[in-house]
Structure 1
Amino acid sequence: MKRSNIHIWTTIALLAIPVCMVWLNGYKAIDALLWSKPAHAPVMLAQDNTELNPSLEFGIYDPYHSWRDSATTWNYEQFYLHWVNFDPAAIQREIKRVLQRETKAILVVEPWSKYQTPLFNDIIAGRYDVEIDKINQVLQGFKDTLYICWGHEMDQDLTTRYDWSSRDSAGYKAAYRYVHSRLKENPVKWIWAPVGKDNCNDYWPGNEYVDMVGLPIYSLPDFDYAYYGRIRSFKEAFGEKYTLVKGHDKPVFLVEFGVSGSDDFEAYWVREAFDAFNTFPLLKSVVFFNSKDIEGAWGTAYETPDWSINQELIAALIDNYRHSD
């Protein structure tokens, strides 16, 4: 065999190796081939910043306070409130702490049930007025510096996870309006936050009850690969949800943003997201979910995702975004 032929066949064999790896191992091979680098490699920012919108705001859910001493200035800090069991004074102290840092607070109220009877019927019948009045105590005096999100992800259709997540869209809307009416003396901002499934607009309570639309966005590679056969980009995954809600013409908050996977995959996916933010004109804020998820939230087929964020990466990307020309 001529040397030139040997060279050709050797080249083909070398090219075939990564192809076989991808065919056998899917995204894991791609991750290893394309994004293999030290875990703490220098942060690489987008090269072309001319299209970025520095008015986009950023927030965080940080239950373990790992970012409290960070130099990053947040526009929002998010809290979750179990409305059957909470101390109004303690929640007010947390909100005041946030406001002292010139940061606004987002209070996600989870309407857990304390009875064995239908939740929405009980709310409308006044059986949770005590809980609603306690929330009123929390809200007093904050006005437009506080945002409230009641009964998020109501379109889950997974009643084993949330008591308020069901196919009863009419009951949800009636309960939402009832709660809103009892809290309206406090002029806080209201966020309506579905998962963003195809039927999410069935739960729309009405234009006068909503100031912002909230959406969650997560990337779990194993789930995407099993469910879609590929890893979806931020632009694709968020774009599907955004298309469903943009007709309401309300500002859109990403109320939960998380990525779970290798450090390299997280860095790639988050950078791609930052590059895509400005393609969604209604998007006004991104809130990072800096915590592990609830145990078993993604079922038994997947390990519980840890959405904790790479502080160096996110801080650099936010700073770059805010100071873009």
Structure 2
Amino acid sequence: MMKKILATIMVLAATLFGYYIIKTYPHRINILFMKSKMEERFQEAVLGVYDREEKIDIRKVKKITHYTIRLNDDDNWRIDSNHIQNLHDTIPVMLTVEMWDPRGLTKTSEGRNNKNVKQFFSLVITNRKNIYIRWNPEMEVPVNLYPWNNRPLPYIAAFREFAQILKEINPEVKMVYSPAGFAGALENYPGDDVVDFASITLNSKAENHLKTKEHKDLGSQITRKLHRLRFINKPILIITSDNAGDSSHHDELIKVAIKKIQENRDIIYSTENFKRPSSQWEGDLDNLKIGLYDPQGELVHENAVNTEHLFISFKQIESGSYIRDMEEVIARNHDLIISVEPAWWNEEKDKNILNRIKNGELDKYIEKFYQSIPATNRNIYLRFAHEMEIPITRYPWQSADPLLYIEAFRYFMQYDHGKDLNIYKIWGPAGDRGSLDWWPGNDVVDFISIAIYGLPDKNISDPNKQESFSKILNRKMFRFRLIDKPIFITEFGVKGEEEFQTHWLREAAYIIKQHPRIRGISYFNYTDSPEVWGDISPPQWTISKNSFSEFIRILNTPLK
């Protein structure tokens, strides 16, 4: 009897484990049964193109014949390439190359696939002038459908190596960077020098494996996906899928999306977006801004502190309750970080707040705020409507249409207040996936701010499961590598026992010293808002004087 029970348990466990593997790593199963092959990809036709320079003939683009080359981890890729060789040279061809070997990115970046790549593609693409290569597409979608999903650094290195080999075979080949167009579409971007075109895919296969659809209607999807690629000056191919429905009205939807871009061409979609960081950041720890959000006043009198952080809502602007706080900070001869929150807390959230701001309906609050700032020669670091990209509704401005947010941000920052103030404008995303969707423009941003908190998920109660400062920082700073602005960490915090907090802060100080792009930091020395955490106790980010002193000591210790 016992043997039968054990056998049943083992079968059940094996079944559950198998189900987990299939659901979590479907590509591992696919590889077992997949053979390298080439086939027509008729379900993913090219519908149109957005070309800022208007040099691409849409009629030729729509004639592209699309094939897939699926490559497994075979020693040699033995594939019948007659599909292409039999096509006339005048017919444009797009090859979507999928490398299903789990080690494919590493092997390609290290050059271990070079022999096979040269041998196979020399037969396929030599002498063709109108050939487009999409390599390992839909890489940014957060699913485990493909072995190349969500691995930005290995993907970038492998793409660059693969593109170099193909260009040696045929300099005329057009390399296509091919995200689905999901949030974070540029996190895997390999560089302007190895990309000729880009593409987006409507209702891509990878996105259909997500639990929640980002955009149900195709019009919004086309607009948002093109918006996400506004930092690259490359023609963008718009590709359909077998999940995108009837394509008869797609042309009109594409025209509407492109018209919106053209209407905002001078600001939101200006050529400023194509400027890459050119300067080598030079660190100056002596002038590093060291700040605190410390409403209890426990650490603001420490000698190292030269900056203080205040959060001011429209409700406080209405009452003027924050003015004394500003005056006290300036009296301590400290600089000010002011995070303006366009909301009336403890009241119903105004989901139309950004519209009302950009339409000038709330000018009396904006005017009153600027006029309330005391005359001072201290620096004012002004942050407006922060953490806008997080897909929650903690704040009424979160998860809004990026174009609407950008217009409201620019309106607030460019408001003509008529005062002579040392204001530095801060754009303040949390630094999460897709942050660049809300980038408002070089002319209204002096600093990018990010938030670094140890808890990666609010449901984690064990402080030892917090992420390290360096892991979070590297992930977030990488997302802004296309923007030439310094970083101000306007919020960071860690919870737990004093010993754990001190250890975390030591590492933070050591890492900050190694990043000359960081020009300021501000610790959040308070308890988080209880209403956000529901039944879970809000994190206590407060630290002791000893922990803060140790952080400053490491910060001031020269690197060896």
TM-score range, shorter chain: 0.7 to 0.9
Summarize deviations over 1:57-106 as a string: whole Å, max 9, x none.
310001111224x4333121000101133367653432232223221011
- Structure number with the higher helix fraction is 1
**1:54–1:116 CA distance, 2 compared to 1 (3 A):** closer
- 1:220 aligns with 455
* Matched residue, 1:242: 477
Corresponding position: 1:75 with 2:306: yes
- The answer for the alignment partner of 1:27 in structure 2 is none
In the superposition, relative to structure 1, how do residues 318 and 52 fare at CA in structure 2: closer, same or farther (>3 Å)? farther
Scaled by the length of structure 2, the TM-score of the pair is 0.45
Partner of 2:415: 182
Letter in 2 for 1:210: V
Q: Is residue 2:357 matched to residue 1:123?
A: yes
Q: Which amino acid counterpart does residue 487 of structure 2 have in structure 1? A: V
Task: Report the Cα offset of residue 299 of structure 1.
Answer: 4.8
2:315 aligned counterpart, secondary structure: coil
CA distance in 1 between partners of 2:374 and 2:481 (Å): 31
Residue of structure 1 equivalent to 2:292: 60
Aligned partner (choices 510, 522, 530) of residue 275 of structure 1: 510
Q: Does 1:100 pair with 2:334?
A: no
Helix, strand or coil for the counterpart of 1:270?
helix
Asked which structure has the greater RCO (Cα within 8 Å, sep 6+), the reply is 1
Correspondence for 1:145: 379
Mapping for residues 1-325 of structure 1, pairs under 5 Å: 53-68=285-300, 70-86=301-317, 90-112=321-343, 118-139=352-373, 141-142=375-376, 145-159=379-393, 161-183=394-416, 185-186=418-419, 187=421, 188-220=423-455, 223=458, 231-300=466-535, 302-322=536-556, 324=558
Q: Please state whether the residue corresponding to 1:297 is helix, strand or coil.
A: helix
Q: Distance in 2 between matches of 1:320 and 1:230?
A: 24
Gaps in structure 1 of 5+ consecutive residues: 1-50
Name the SS of the counterpart of 1:286 in structure 2.
strand
Tell me the number of residue pairs that the alignment of Structure 1 and Structure 2 aligns. 271
1: distance between equivalents of 2:349 and 2:362? 10
* Kept after mapping to 2: 8 A contact 1:72/1:315: no
Q: 1:151: Cα distance to partner?
A: 0.4
Structure 1 contact 217–238 (Cα < 8 Å) conserved: yes
1:139 CA drift (Å): 3.0
Evaluate the alpha carbon distance shift between residue 312 and residue 123 of structure 1 in structure 2; reply closer, same or farther with a 3 A threshold.
Answer: same
Deviation of 1:117 (Å) = 5.9
Instruction: Name which one, 1 or 2, has greater alpha-carbon Rg.
Output: 2
Displacement, 1:205?
A: 0.6
- Aligned 8 A contact 1:219 1:260 in 2: yes
> What displacement does 1:271 show?
1.0
Q: 1:220 to 1:198 in 2, by over 3 A?
A: closer
One-letter code aligned to 1:62: D
Change (3 A) 1:140 1:266: closer
Contact 1:105/1:146 (<8 A) preserved:
yes
CA shift for structure 1 position 244: 1.1
Q: Between the two proteins, what is the percent identity of the paired residues? A: 29
Does structure 1 retain, via aligned residues, the 8 Å contact 2:512–2:518?
Answer: yes
Equivalent-residue separation in structure 2 for 1:88 and 1:299 (angstroms): 28
Deviation at 1:297, TM superposition (A): 2.4
